[in-house]
């Protein structure tokens, strides 16, 4: 595995391998089993696997956890090598953003709900770094986890709307044995919060099962919220049901419904979701 820190070295290496298919797995590091699922899928489907580790400041707000975001590049490098990554791209902030162009990308309406409502500008920053990585790597396929369902929907819409020559691949959420979605931020949970956090997935499971039985969205969401409030010390940011991937509130013609939630604990904000195939109900 080659570890590359500069854009010039990355492009030189990829140019020498331009006839090969490339799978891209963008990450912010602190790799866990969820990331490894993306890397393993990319390894199976491509000649080359490129993974980036870059804690992107553009997607963090002024009061968010950029400085506290967990980092362990030595461990990440070891895991990436074991997963069969060919190139680990680890640029600095100055390498990725050497100057301020004044040109911005706006994620639009899809970014105004769910996580975007409480994190204004977050998805603009996601699209900024994804655009750069797509141009630099020119991947055949790029892999994203369904745990970040809103991010996935925005990237899919962006790629389709602007004809990026890349295929976006969805990879299912990877969970702990007790159901908690794998996340780099889980390390910030106290012992008590970690024990409570399993109830987030249970709550959205209750919501989806209620909807399957009654087809009453409001009843389903109310039961999910009540379960979180009764079984955790966390504060609900949202628990909503939207058509997927267009994230519209009108569910009448939806082929898939996203049941998604975000819950604040003292030092971590956890998200989780379930995507329901309406035709399968």
Provide the annotated active-site residues: 35
190 is in an annotated binding site: no
CA 263/CA 281 separation, integer angstroms: 27
280 is in an annotated binding site: no
CA 140/CA 13 separation, integer angstroms: 16
CA 253/CA 243 separation, integer angstroms: 8
256 is in an annotated binding site: no
201 is in an annotated binding site: no
182 is in an annotated binding site: yes
33 is in an annotated binding site: yes
How many residues are there in the chain? 281
The answer to whether 23 and 43 are in contact (CB under 8 A) is: yes
75 is in an annotated binding site: no
32 is in an annotated binding site: yes
Which class for 8: exposed (0-12), middle (13-18), buried (19 or more C-beta within 10 A)? exposed
- In angstroms, the Cα distances linking 184 to 35, 78, 103, 261, 273 are 10, 17, 31, 17, 17
116 is in an annotated binding site: no
Q: CB neighbours of 57 closer than 8 A, spacing ≥ 6? A: 66, 93, 97, 125
The answer to whether 169 and 37 are in contact (CB under 8 A) is: no
15 is in an annotated binding site: no
29 is in an annotated binding site: yes
Per the annotation, binding residues are 28-35, 59, 145-148, 151, 174, 182-185
Residues contributing to the annotated binding site for ATP: 28-35, 145-148, 174, 182-185
For the annotated binding site for beta-alanine, the residues are 59
What are the binding residues for (R)-pantoate? 59, 151
């Amino acid at each position: 595995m080659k570890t590359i820190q500069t854009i010039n070295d990355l492009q030189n290496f990829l140019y020498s391998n331009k006839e090969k298919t490339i799978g891209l797995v963008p990450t912010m590091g602190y790799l866990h089993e969820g990331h490894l699922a993306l890397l393993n899928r990319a390894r199976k489907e491509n000649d080359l696997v490129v993974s980036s580790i870059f804690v992107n400041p553009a997607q963090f707000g002024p009061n968010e956890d950029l400085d506290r975001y967990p980092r362990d590049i030595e461990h990440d490098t070891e895991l990436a090598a074991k997963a069969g990554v060919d190139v680990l791209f680890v640029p600095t902030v100055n390498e990725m953003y050497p100057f301020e162009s004044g040109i911005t990308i706006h994620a639009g309406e899809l970014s105004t709900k769910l996580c975007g409502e409480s994190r204004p500008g977050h998805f603009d920053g996601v699209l900024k770094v994804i655009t750069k990585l797509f141009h630099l790597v020119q991947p055949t396929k790029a892999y994203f986890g369904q745990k970040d369902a809103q991010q996935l929907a925005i990237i899919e819409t962006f790629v389709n709307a602007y004809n990026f020559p890349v295929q976006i691949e969805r990879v299912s959420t990877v969970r702990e044995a007790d159901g908690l979605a794998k996340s780099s931020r889980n390390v910030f949970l106290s012992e008590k919060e970690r024990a409570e956090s399993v109830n987030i997935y249970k709550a959205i499971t209750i919501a989806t099962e209620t909807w399957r039985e009654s087809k009453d969205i409001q009843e389903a969401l109310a039961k999910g919220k009540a379960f979180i409030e009764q079984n955790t010390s966390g504060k609900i940011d949202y628990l909503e049901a939207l058509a997927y991937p267009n994230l519209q509130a009108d569910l009448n013609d939806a082929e898939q419904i996203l049941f998604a939630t975000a819950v604040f604990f003292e030092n971590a904000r956890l998200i989780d979701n379930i995507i329901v195939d309406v035709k399968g109900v």
